[in-house]
């Protein structure tokens, strides 16, 4: 059975890993990734398409100057995308988040195992926790880079707005504001760092204790050692 100190520290790391898993689920499920306003001009008036969407679904509204709302619709992001590049980056972001979800799940399993037992395999110990937590953090950071690249570089909001608008118009400009579904991914990174820090302190304390136990033998007189 593991010591009380080991159980408490790995249990704390387990809570951080489970929280990370839950947050990633929220990130995937909610559509509040970005809010965009895409402005168009057409004969006699200007049209503003207001979008709120995530990786899977979103809503759009049309406003005709001076503020008359024309329509509000719900759309599926995958169905509204016509560009292969935009669709590919959107799928890549989803895949990266699913892999991060798997890494977070494995981290939870490893920390739970160490909290209740002393596994013989080295990889099932702190090394495994380091590996999967680091992988999860890197994947989350990758997702946080891919999505803005798709929005800003591939003009994702403009492409979705064209699908929502009633007619083709001249694009005037776009503004974007990233929502909580995007920013709470930072919380996942912080939780991974917290879990890594807890396990590092445990591993460092165990290593120091082992060295202290070996030091009396190293410093003992030669004749005592021979005896």
Q: Is residue 224 part of a domain?
A: no
Rounded CA-CA distance 163/180 in Å is 25
Residues in the chain, pLDDT under 50:
224-227
What's the confidence (pLDDT) of residue 22?
Answer: 96
Rounded CA-CA distance 179/182 in Å is 6
What's the confidence (pLDDT) of residue 227?
Answer: 42
How many CB atoms neighbour CB 21 within 10 A?
A: 21
Q: Is residue 214 part of a domain?
A: no
pLDDT (tens digit per residue) in 169-215: 788 888 999 999 999 999 999 999 999 998 888 877 665 556 566 55
How many CB atoms neighbour CB 160 within 10 A?
A: 24
Q: Is residue 84 part of a domain?
A: yes
How many CB atoms neighbour CB 114 within 10 A?
A: 25
Q: Is residue 15 part of a domain?
A: yes
- Tally the domains of the chain: 1
Q: Is residue 220 part of a domain?
A: no
CATH number, domain of 104, equals 1.20.140.150
Q: Is residue 182 part of a domain?
A: yes
> Which structure tokens are listed for 181?
């579904």
* Domain membership of residue 200 as a residue range: 6-207
Q: Is residue 139 part of a domain?
A: yes
Q: Is residue 213 part of a domain?
A: no
What's the confidence (pLDDT) of residue 225?
Answer: 46
**Which pTM does this prediction carry?**
0.84
């Amino acid at each position: 059975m593991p010591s009380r100190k080991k159980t408490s520290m790995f249990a704390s790391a387990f809570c951080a890993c489970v929280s990370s898993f839950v947050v990633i689920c929220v990130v995937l499920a909610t559509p509040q990734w970005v809010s965009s306003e895409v402005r168009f001009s057409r004969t006699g008036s200007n049209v503003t398409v207001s979008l709120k969407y995530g990786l899977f679904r979103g809503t759009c509204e049309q406003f005709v100057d001076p503020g008359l709302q024309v329509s509000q619709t719900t759309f599926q992001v995958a169905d509204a995308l016509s560009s292969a590049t935009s669709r590919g980056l959107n799928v890549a972001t989803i895949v990266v988040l699913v892999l991060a979800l798997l890494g977070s799940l494995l981290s939870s399993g490893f920390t739970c195992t160490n909290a209740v037992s002393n596994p013989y395999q080295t990889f099932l110990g702190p090394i495994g926790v380091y590996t999967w937590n680091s992988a999860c953090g890197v994947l989350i950071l990758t997702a946080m880079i891919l999505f803005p690249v798709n929005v800003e570089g591939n003009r994702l909001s403009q492409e979705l707005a064209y699908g929502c608008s009633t007619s083709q118009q001249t694009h005037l400009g776009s503004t974007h504001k990233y929502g909580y579904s995007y920013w709470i991914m930072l919380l996942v990174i912080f939780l991974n760092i917290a879990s890594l820090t807890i396990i590092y302190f445990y591993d460092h304390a165990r290593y120091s204790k082992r060295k202290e136990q070996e030091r009396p033998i190293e410093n003992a007189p030669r004749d005592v050692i021979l005896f």
